[in-house]
Amino acid sequence: MKKAIVSDLSRAGDGLSTVLVVEDQAADARLIQAAFAGSGYGKFNVVWVARLAYALEYLASQDVDVILADLTLPDEEEGVGVYDRIARAAPNALIMVLSESNDDEFARQAVQRGAYDFLCKARVDGHWLPRALRYALECKAAREALQKKDSHFRALNDDLPVGILVADSKGNCIGTNAAYQKISGLTFDQTLAMGWSAAIHPQDRRRIIAAWCDEKRVHAPISDEVRFLRQDGTIAWGRVHRTVLSAELAPKVFLQTIEDITAEKQAESAVREAENALYVEREFSRVVLNSIADAIMRTDDEGNVIYLNLMAEAMTGWSSQEAVGFPLQKIFNVIDSETGEPADNPVDRVLEEHRTLGPVMERVLVRRDGVESPIEDLAVPIHAVDGRVVGAVLIFHDVSQSRAMAMKMAHLAQHDFLTGLPNRALLTERLSQAIGLARRHNKQVALMFVDIDYFKHINDSLGHATGDQLLQSVAKQLQACVRSTDTVCRQGGDEFVILLAEIEQIQDAAQVAQKLLSAFDRAQIVAGHEVHATLSIGISVYPDDGENLYSVMQNADIAMYNAKADGRNNYQFFNAKMSTRSIRRLLVEDGLRRALKEGEFVLYYQPKV
């Protein structure tokens, strides 16, 4: 190949531009060399080869600035194929096609593929050829410098964390950087094929376009926060700032900078959700605390009030707003129910001992206006995550109703629900106490069993309501006839029992019995009916008629049945004969019941003669 290379400047110096001439016609090659040799437009190092293969071999080891190539070489390949191989071998060289005429088809195709231009060999001379090449080289150098600057600028923009989008006055995108592509989710080619607003979320797009197309604001910088809807369905938030890149440009060019604030918005959303959840939780707690029947107060770690629910406000007379900051003892004023002295502050002990105290009773809450209410309270410490006691909760409620209910239940357990008189259980207790006192004081105790004569007939005739009213009337009259220290009790049905405690003599019981019979001599008006109710009274006396309450009660009952058997409307004292007759009567009754059950009765019929 060395023999095929001809150079008119075999010693290339610094600053020379190397021109490779690929031409199989020696005359044309010498013509070109001569044109360069006589040029006054800079120095060129001209290298000539006659074959494509030689050119490729040379380009494999040497850099050239300009290639002048004839596409009709005596090689296996010609036309644009020659151009393509040269272009691949020297991608940075300026390539010009040598043509026989101005209408060379190969030359035009090469220019379409990237050749700088084509030269007609017939017009090559030493004046315009070097000049044209020098101009072409200068343009190439300027273009490369511009591309390099553009590459540096693009690389710089791509390194910026802020998205950049440049758009013309019609809204067409003419440039973006990598940050914008990441925010929008679009590739560089996709951004150039779309308008500047294409990636904005549809719900924000109309607002943003309207604002940015406002004639009053078109020349002024505009800032806004918008959402970008990516192709994968995710949403990115951007803080967009738009400004006119140059007011003198026509048409105008707009620069948009987009700061990715997705993380900031997500954090704001998380904070809002947390605040909303906290609000809901607080609202739930408020509703619950204000809905329950117990009063609740909360204090800090120094015992100062920080919260009262509605019930606590009502019971203390302090509103929560008024009470906040005051020591608990000022708001929760409690005294001992027995002594009336100020009671201990339960929260002080909770904060000191770090444990729950209560429930505590026997305390009275003095409301702000002086009204007193018996209460039951419980104090509980509040612990922080690290275990420290940071306050206390005081829970209390009014026990007036519960105490009244307890007293009522206790009363009902020992009293008859119809007449209000003590029942059998209370009578047994009082009789036992009376016998004990009588034994110690050497006294006597009388027990009177009282039965209303023919009460069943009255009840069945006038109705149960009237019967109940009669029982209530009898109860009042019995109480009116005895001492306050005596006990009148309803045994059940129409039977009453009177306990006369500590009588001096038996005659005292007889006087009371006679007083009762006299009181019932007169008719009573019950439910509009005139009712004649008389009494049958049986009396037993301790210790003569029994040494314990059971025998005394049994013997009084026996005496009452004897009074009924003796014609009613009288009283009878117990004696031993009554017990014998009572036992005999019981035996007969038991025998009759057994015989009836066993079918031992036989009916005999005696016809009249």
pLDDT digits (tens, 9 = 90+) for 51-73: 888 888 998 998 888 888 888 88
Long-range contacts made by residues 319-325, C-beta under 8 angstroms, separation at least 24?
A: none
Q: Taking the CB of residue 204, how many other CB atoms lie within 10 A of it?
A: 16
Q: Do 64 and 203 sit in the same domain of this protein? A: no
Looking at per-residue pLDDT, the higher value among 240 and 248 belongs to: 240
The helix or strand, by DSSP H or E, that contains position 276, with its residue range, turns out to be: helix 262-291
**Domain endpoint, select from 351, 368, 397:** 397
Residue 560: the pLDDT is 92
pLDDT of residue 1 exceeding 50: no
**Domain endpoint, select from 363, 397, 431:** 397
For β-strands 117-120 and 94-99, DSSP reports them as parallel
Mean per-residue pLDDT, 99-111 = 79
Share of the chain above pLDDT 70, in %: 87
Asked if 109 and 79 count as a contact pair (C-beta separation under 8 A), the reply is: yes
Asked if 250 and 256 count as a contact pair (C-beta separation under 8 A), the reply is: no
* Residue 469 vs residues 384, 420, 476, 480: alpha-carbon distances, Å: 66, 13, 11, 17
Confidence class of residue 180 from pLDDT cuts 50, 70 and 90?
confident
- 267 is a domain residue: no
| SS3 state at 347 | helix
Q: What is the largest CA-CA distance in the chain?
A: 191
Mean per-residue pLDDT, 230-257 = 80
**Domain endpoint, select from 86, 112, 144:** 144
Mean per-residue pLDDT, 530-558 = 91
Q: Do 343 and 301 sit in the same domain of this protein? A: yes
Residue 494: the pLDDT is 92
Q: How far apart are CA 346 and CA 357, in angstroms?
A: 7
CATH code where residue 377 lies: 3.30.450.20
Count up the domains in the chain and report the number. Answer: 4
- 514 is a domain residue: yes
Most confident of 282-286, 404-408, 536-540, 604-608: 536-540
Q: What is the pLDDT of residues 70-100, one digit of tens each?
A: 888 877 677 888 888 888 988 888 888 888 8
Q: How far apart are CA 262 and CA 163, in angstroms?
A: 13
Q: Do 457 and 533 sit in the same domain of this protein? A: yes
Residue 166: the pLDDT is 84
Residue 393: the pLDDT is 94
- 282 is a domain residue: no
With tokens 């800079």, the residue in question is 42
CATH code where residue 14 lies: 3.40.50.2300
Residue 143: the pLDDT is 66
Q: How far apart are CA 194 and CA 228, in angstroms?
A: 14
pLDDT of residue 109 exceeding 50: yes
Residue 157: the pLDDT is 63
Residue 579: the pLDDT is 64
Asked if 499 and 445 count as a contact pair (C-beta separation under 8 A), the reply is: yes
- 150 is a domain residue: no
Q: Do 587 and 550 sit in the same domain of this protein? A: yes
Q: Do 509 and 565 sit in the same domain of this protein? A: yes
Q: Please name every residue paired with 357 in a beta bridge, in sequence order, or none if there are none.
A: 379
Confidence class of residue 175 from pLDDT cuts 50, 70 and 90?
confident
Q: Do 442 and 522 sit in the same domain of this protein? A: yes
Q: Please name every residue paired with 393 in a beta bridge, in sequence order, or none if there are none.
A: 298, 380
With tokens 């007759």, the residue in question is 581
Write down the pTM of the prediction. 0.47
Residue 228: the pLDDT is 92
Residue 83: the pLDDT is 87
Mean pLDDT of the chain: 84
pLDDT of residue 11 exceeding 80: no
Question: What is the span of the domain harbouring residue 379?
Answer: 292-397
Q: Do 373 and 434 sit in the same domain of this protein? A: no
Q: Do 57 and 167 sit in the same domain of this protein? A: no
Mean per-residue pLDDT, 376-401 = 91
The dihedral of CA 166, 168, 170, 172: what is its sign? negative
Query: How does DSSP assign 32-57, residue by residue?
Result: HHHHHHT--S--EEEEEESSHHHHHH
Long-range contacts made by residues 551-555, C-beta under 8 angstroms, separation at least 24?
A: 552/431, 552/435, 552/445, 552/447, 553/431, 553/447, 553/449, 553/497, 555/579
CATH code where residue 453 lies: 3.30.70.270
pLDDT of residue 247 exceeding 60: no
Q: Do 455 and 561 sit in the same domain of this protein? A: yes
3-state SS of 114-134 is CCCEEEEHHHCCCCHHHHHHH
pLDDT of residue 599 exceeding 80: no
The helix or strand, by DSSP H or E, that contains position 239, with its residue range, turns out to be: strand 235-244
Q: Do 125 and 169 sit in the same domain of this protein? A: no
Confidence class of residue 13 from pLDDT cuts 50, 70 and 90?
very low
Q: Do 105 and 6 sit in the same domain of this protein? A: yes
Q: Is the peptide bond before 543 cis (omega within 30 degrees of 0)?
A: yes
Q: Do 195 and 117 sit in the same domain of this protein? A: no
CA-based nearest residue to 48, from 18, 72, 76:
18
* Residue 607 vs residues 322, 447, 603: alpha-carbon distances, Å: 103, 53, 13
Confidence class of residue 257 from pLDDT cuts 50, 70 and 90?
confident
The separation between CA 72 and the C-alpha centre of its own chain, rounded to angstroms, equals 85
> 458-482 as b/e, with b when 16 or more CB fall inside 10 Å?
bbeebeeebbebbbbbbbeebbebb
Q: What is the pLDDT of residues 113-145, one digit of tens each?
A: 888 888 787 777 666 777 777 777 777 766 666
* Residue 284 vs residues 144, 280, 287: alpha-carbon distances, Å: 71, 6, 5
CA-based nearest residue to 370, from 329, 324, 322, 316:
316
The dihedral of CA 76, 79, 80, 83: what is its sign? positive
Asked if 505 and 541 count as a contact pair (C-beta separation under 8 A), the reply is: no
3-state SS of 563-577 is HHHCCCCCEEECCHH
Q: How far apart are CA 302 and CA 289, in angstroms?
A: 23
- 409 is a domain residue: no
For β-strands 535-542 and 571-573, DSSP reports them as parallel
- 591 is a domain residue: yes
- 41 is a domain residue: yes
Q: Looking at 122-131, 303-312, 387-396, which range is the least confident one?
A: 122-131
Confidence class of residue 10 from pLDDT cuts 50, 70 and 90?
very low
Q: Could you tell me the two tokens for 363?
A: 């305390």
pLDDT of residue 262 exceeding 70: yes
pLDDT of residue 2 exceeding 70: no
Looking at per-residue pLDDT, the higher value among 474 and 164 belongs to: 474
- 405 is a domain residue: no
Q: How far apart are CA 410 and CA 202, in angstroms?
A: 76
pLDDT of residue 475 exceeding 90: yes
pLDDT of residue 372 exceeding 50: yes
